[in-house]
């Protein structure tokens, strides 16, 4: 039974919804005709987990489909269903609540081509307006005119907000409850962004009327109008220009009904959004140049066969059990997932490898470790490479990783970057602290991110709970703009959590001893130890070199057990929650 059919069975006892679902699926091929008059029928290749809506459909029918998806996804933190809700250009009067593993996409060349008049909202998934577990959901490519004037986007990690236009205000929390996000890029908010109690946030190349609120670590990169105030009160870290980035590729439909993927052009020293001129500059790849994969139908061997023929890859929503890695070997290949398409290796291999070639873009994929331990889940380039990709970097956009939570998951390294000049454009690399298959000897993971390549740049680096270094950076001239990390909750005792003689634990962010040049801005590292006798000597560990520079660091104890003894090397002093709260801050290193 299709996933949409399954939802129908879960939600209603009769056949009414199944009939409506079938009509929507059968109508996918004609929706672009309805909107544009085109005779093209590219949508027949999409399966039932991609719901495509046209403004010519009844708004009540669209609303019913949205509500059926949300009823299943609202609390499905570790569920198997994934969805993309896709809107053709036009205006819609609907309310769109966004649950787990749900991506909402506008198909215009500019966000203003798809206009949602009503609510689009992410709500707290825990009681008491607590959004600290509101993960794995996304919006991109449309405008919102929110009911009441304010859009609610209460999120934490892995909840990208891209190419959006909010015609009003937005709040990043629910009624003052905690949230632990998040990411905003290439977006415009006409009114105010209210951060409220958001613990941390990165905004890259975005614009707004005003910004209010701060907590521990707020980073603004390439933002023309950052809020007033200087770190540490309020904790604003401001970088005037984004040194190098290519925005995430996106689906679009033109006036003739032709489908394509726009690959934005590379920008250097940029400020603000890409679409002031109406559309984002870049190149278009027709949808016919993509192999459209479906979970449960396509094996890794079949996908690799299509990639070897020169196809790009579009992964429909679902979970792909892989008995070998997906291998990307051709320069300028685009691999794009819809609706948090999830890659899961089942034989202890990598899920995805990218060759040491120019211009590959991987976007919108969740990589879930399997029960058999993988030496690495995703490898980019080849170790020891001297090839420069400076003119056309490899880009990773909204690529997320998970060890455990849905089931036992094990890996030694989640993401290994060997290719020089790679740009990481938002990632969350998470060893699960709750869910299924979770425990110090169950969901194993040494490192979240290992960087061997030179000139690697990371924006929005979220890495949590791994059992050794969360980040191990060996390459030269690395740069990180925003870092968020909780160290592992569950070391059972200090001997199990000791990196060297006399050193408690493993630093969250480790720059290897031989590195001469590295720089990072806006770092927040937090402890939630479950055992009282477990401590961490330092949150950040770096060689003392004039070109190894860190800006704006904070450590916070989120419970009353253990401590982080220093922020960076031997600087900063210990965190405390009891008997009174102390959140050490270090402005600059070296001082």
The backbone torsions φ and ψ at residue 5, rounded to the nearest 5 degrees and listed phi first, read: -60, -40
H or E element: which one contains 337? strand 334-345
**Residues 564 and 538 sit within 8 Å (Cβ to Cβ):** yes
DSSP per position, 247-275: PPPEEEE-TT--EEEEEEPPEEEE-S-S-
61 three-state secondary structure: helix
Is the omega angle on the peptide bond into residue 182 within 30 degrees of 0, that is, cis? yes
For 215-238, give the secondary structure using H, E and C.
Answer: CCEEEEECCCCCCCCECCECCEEE
Helix (H, G, I), strand (E, B) or coil at 184: strand
- What's the N-to-C CA distance of the chain in angstroms? 62
Say how far apart CA 21 and CA 61 lie, in whole Å. Answer: 10
Chain centre distance of CA 456: 18
Counting Cβ atoms within 10 Å, is residue 224 exposed (0-12), middle (13-18) or buried (19+)? middle
Q: Is 486 considered catalytic here?
A: yes
Q: Could you count the other beta carbons within 10 Å of the beta carbon of residue 272?
A: 17
Helices (H), 278-403: 300-308
Phi, psi values for residue 62, rounded to 5°: -60, -45
DSSP category for residue 179? B
Across 355-405, the runs of DSSP E, i.e. the strands, are: 361-368, 374-380, 395-403
Q: Coil, strand or helix: which one is 50?
A: strand
Give residues with Cβ within 8 angstroms of 541, minimum separation 6.
Answer: 507, 509, 510, 511, 568, 569
> What DSSP state is assigned to residue 45?
G
Sign of CA dihedral 180, 415, 499, 530: positive
Residues 287 and 309: beta-carbon distance below 8 Å? no
Q: Detail the DSSP E strand segments found in 1-146.
A: 50-53, 83-87, 90-92, 96-97, 102-106, 114-117, 120-121, 137-140, 143-145
User: Helix, strand, coil shares of the chain as percentages rounded to 5?
Assistant: 10, 40, 45
Residue 312: strand pairing partners = 290
Say if CB 176 and CB 195 are below 8 A apart: no
Instruction: Determine which one of 207, 486, 541, 563 is catalytic.
Output: 486
> How far apart (Å, rounded) are the C-alpha atoms in residues 238 and 230?
8
183 CA to centre of own chain = 8
- Cα Dmax for the chain: 72
User: Which distant-in-sequence residues (6+ apart) come within 8 Å of 279 by Cβ?
Assistant: 109, 110, 262
Q: Which residues participate in catalysis according to the annotation?
A: 486
């Amino acid at each position: 039974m299709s996933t949409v059919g399954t939802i129908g069975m879960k939600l209603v006892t009769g056949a009414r919804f199944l009939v409506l679902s079938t009509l929507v699926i059968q109508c996918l091929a004609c929706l672009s005709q309805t909107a544009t008059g085109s005779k093209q029928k590219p949508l027949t290749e999409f399966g039932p987990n991609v719901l495509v809506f046209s403004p010519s459909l009844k708004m009540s029918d669209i609303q019913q489909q949205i509500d059926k998806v949300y009823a299943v996804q609202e609390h499905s933190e570790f569920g198997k269903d994934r969805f993309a809700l896709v809107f053709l250009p036009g205006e819609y009067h609907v309310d769109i609540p966004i649950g787990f593993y749900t991506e909402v996409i506008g198909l215009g060349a500019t966000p203003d081509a798809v206009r949602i008049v009503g609510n689009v909202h992410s709500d707290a998934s825990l009681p008491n307006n607590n959004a600290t577990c509101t993960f794995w959901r996304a919006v991109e490519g449309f405008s919102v005119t929110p009911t009441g004037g304010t859009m609610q986007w209460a999120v934490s990690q892995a909840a990208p907000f891209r190419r959006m236009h909010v015609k009003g205000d937005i709040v990043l929390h629910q009624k003052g409850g905690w949230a632990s996000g998040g990411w905003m890029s290439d977006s415009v908010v006409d009114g105010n962004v209210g951060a409220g109690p958001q613990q941390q946030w990165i905004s890259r190349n975005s614009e707004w009327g005003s910004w209010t609120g701060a907590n521990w670590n707020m980073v603004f990169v390439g933002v023309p109008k950052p809020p007033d105030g200087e770190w540490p009160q309020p904790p604003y870290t401001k970088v005037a220009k984004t040194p190098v980035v290519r925005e995430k590729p996106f689906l679009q439909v033109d006036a003739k009904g032709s489908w394509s993927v726009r690959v934005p052009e590379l920008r250097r020293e940029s400020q603000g959004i890409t679409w002031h001129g109406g559309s984002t500059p870049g190149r278009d790849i027709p949808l016919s140049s993509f192999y459209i994969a479906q979970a449960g139908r396509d094996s890794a061997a079949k996908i690799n066969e299509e990639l070897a023929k020169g196809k790009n890859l579009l992964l429909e929503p679902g979970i792909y059990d892989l008995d070998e890695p997906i291998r990307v070997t051709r320069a300028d290949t685009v691999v794009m997932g819809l609706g948090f398409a999830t890659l899961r290796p089942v034989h202890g291999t990598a899920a995805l490898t990218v060759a040491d070639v120019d211009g590959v873009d991987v976007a919108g994929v969740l990589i879930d470790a399997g029960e058999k331990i993988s030496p690495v889940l995703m490898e980019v380039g080849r170790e020891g490479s001297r090839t420069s990709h400076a003119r056309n970097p490899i880009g990773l956009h909204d690529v997320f990783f998970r060890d455990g939570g849905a089931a036992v998951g094990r890996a030694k390294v989640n993401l290994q970057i060997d290719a020089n000049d790679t740009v990481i454009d938002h990632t969350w690399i998470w060893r699960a602290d709750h869910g299924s298959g979770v425990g110090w000897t169950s969901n194993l993971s040494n490192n979240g991110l290992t960087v061997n390549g030179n000139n690697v740049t990371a924006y929005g680096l979220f890495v949590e709970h791994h059992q050794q270094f969360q980040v191990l950076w060996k390459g030269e001239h690395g740069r990180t703009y925003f870092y968020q990390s909780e160290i592992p909750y569950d070391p059972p005792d200090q001997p199990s959590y000791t990196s060297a003689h006399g050193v408690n634990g493993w630093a969250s962010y480790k720059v290897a001893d031989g590195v001469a040049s590295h720089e990072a801005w806006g770092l927040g590292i937090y402890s939630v130890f479950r055992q009282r006798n477990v401590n961490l000597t330092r949150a950040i560990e770096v060689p003392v070199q004039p070109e190894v520079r860190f800006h704006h660091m904070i450590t916070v104890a989120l419970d009353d057990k253990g401590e982080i003894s220093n922020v960076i090397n031997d600087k900063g002093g210990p965190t405390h929650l009891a008997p009174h709260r102390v959140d050490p801050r270090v402005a600059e290193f070296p001082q």
